[in-house]
């Protein structure tokens, strides 16, 4: 970033401490990183550093240069329409430190698909707020620190329910979009409305203090109706990051991904240099083993992915897929010219 933040110094009404409210940014920036503290020389306080605790009304509204936003753990308030109409904003990284989330923070952010949040106090209300504010498909990577370090099994995405006690955990949840449909009944002189898409049902699984993972998993029959990328992403997220995942639901996700294996791999290959940690997800999918120690993918699905990556000139991806193919006796490796 080559510009400077615009701000105002505020005083907390409860205890009187001073803090900074960001009101804008002077200059162009693609990856906006909001600092935890800003030095205020004229205040004469020790060190001159004040915490950044708020982002002001319309602070970044309409900015088309911003693509990613990273907010510090000091942020407590997001005022109205903070990032409204930032059409190229695709990812927000933040903490669950938000106490006050005002209307329209991420409304009309058409490219926003990824939100990464670290939970330090178990305050899931901020997730609810983002989901209420945006009716598009949103993917959340939710980090929940524990008392210990992640185990190898957790890193591989293969912990059984209850095996992660005391360990840090990560959930990867996709919340599908939904659409309100209004129709006028002229005879009854009423307006009737319906909700299309499973997104509204999935959003109801998030409470202030928790996520109802079992309720989320029960909805997969509705998610399958949405189909395509949405259903695949739901299944991938739950299998690779299985927080509170029961074996019954695990099986339904495994079956779905096996059935749609060719599509899943093609998306990972074509999105290798973009998307939501696409390379990481591909490697985890290839390492995943079903309950019977079988792979998620058939030989035909792997062969199709190898051909595609080779045609696209993705040497690294092709090597990963061919190594995987040769390591499984049931998957006959093929040779491709570069």
Domain of 271 in residue numbering reads as 261-338
C-alpha dist (Å) from residue 26 to 55, 60, 74, 330: 15, 10, 22, 59
Domain contains 316: yes
Contact 8, 34 (CB under 8 A): no
Q: How far apart are CA 183 and CA 91, in angstroms?
A: 34
Domain contains 189: no
Domain contains 288: yes
Q: How confident is the model at residue 245, as a pLDDT?
A: 97
Domain contains 37: no
Residues with Cβ within 8 Å of residue 225, at least 6 apart in sequence: 198
152, two tokens: 């190898």
For residue 329, which of 287, 299, 286, 290 has the smallest C-alpha distance? 299
pTM metric for this prediction? 0.85
Per residue of the chain (338 residues), give pLDDT as tens. 678 999 999 999 999 999 999 999 999 999 999 999 999 875 555 547 999 999 999 999 999 999 999 999 999 999 999 999 999 999 999 999 999 999 999 999 999 999 999 999 999 999 999 999 998 999 999 999 875 444 333 444 444 334 444 578 999 999 999 875 655 666 666 665 555 578 889 999 999 999 999 999 999 998 888 778 999 999 999 999 999 999 999 999 999 999 999 999 999 898 876 555 677 888 899 999 886 667 899 999 999 999 999 999 999 899 999 988 888 645 444 443 43
Q: How confident is the model at residue 335, as a pLDDT?
A: 44
Domain contains 100: no
Q: Per the structure, how many domains does the chain have?
A: 1
Interhelix angle for 228-240 vs 247-259, to 10°?
A: 130
Domain contains 13: no
Domain contains 267: yes
Spell out the alpha helix ranges (H) of the chain.
125-133, 152-155, 199-203, 213-218, 220-226, 228-240, 247-259, 261-270, 278-287, 299-311, 315-326
Domain contains 271: yes
Per-residue model confidence as pLDDT tens digits over 139-168? 999 999 875 444 333 444 444 334 444 578
Q: How far apart are CA 250 and CA 245, in angstroms?
A: 7
Q: How confident is the model at residue 186, as a pLDDT?
A: 64
């Amino acid at each position: 970033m080559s510009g400077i933040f615009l701000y105002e110094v505020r005083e907390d009404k409860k205890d009187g401490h001073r803090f900074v409210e960001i009101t804008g940014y002077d200059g162009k920036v693609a990856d906006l990183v909001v600092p935890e503290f800003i030095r205020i020389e004229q205040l004469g306080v020790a060190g001159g550093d004040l915490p950044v605790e708020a982002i002001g009304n319309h602070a970044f509204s309409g900015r088309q240069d911003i693509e990613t936003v990273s907010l510090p753990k000091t942020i407590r308030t997001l005022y109205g329409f903070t990032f409204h109409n930032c059409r190229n904003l695709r990812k927000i990284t933040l903490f669950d430190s938000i106490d006050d989330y005002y209307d329209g923070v991420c409304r009309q952010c058409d490219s926003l698909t990824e939100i990464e949040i670290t939970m330090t106090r178990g305050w899931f209300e901020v997730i609810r707020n983002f989901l209420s504010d945006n009716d598009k498909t949103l993917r959340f990577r939710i980090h929940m620190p524990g008392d210990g370090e992640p185990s190898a099994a957790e890193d591989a995405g293969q912990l059984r329910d209850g095996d992660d006690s005391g360990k840090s955990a990560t959930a990867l949840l996709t919340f599908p979009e939904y659409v309100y449909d209004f129709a006028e009944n002229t005879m009854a002189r009423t307006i009737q409305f319906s909700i299309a898409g499973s997104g509204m049902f999935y959003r109801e699984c998030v409470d202030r203090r928790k996520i109802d993972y079992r309720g989320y998993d029960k909805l997969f029959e509705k998610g399958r109706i949405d189909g395509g990328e949405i259903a695949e992403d739901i299944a991938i997220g739950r299998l690779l990051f299985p927080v509170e995942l029961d074996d019954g639901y695990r099986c339904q996700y495994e079956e779905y991904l096996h059935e749609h294996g060719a599509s899943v791999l093609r998306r990972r290959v074509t999105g290798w240099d973009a998307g939501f940690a696409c390379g990481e997800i591909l490697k985890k999918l290839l390492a995943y083993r079903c309950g019977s120690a079988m792979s998620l993918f058939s030989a035909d699905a792997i062969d199709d992915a190898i051909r595609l990556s080779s045609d696209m000139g993705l040497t690294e991806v092709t090597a990963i897929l061919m190594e995987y193919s040769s390591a499984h006796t049931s998957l006959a490796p093929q040779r491709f010219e570069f």
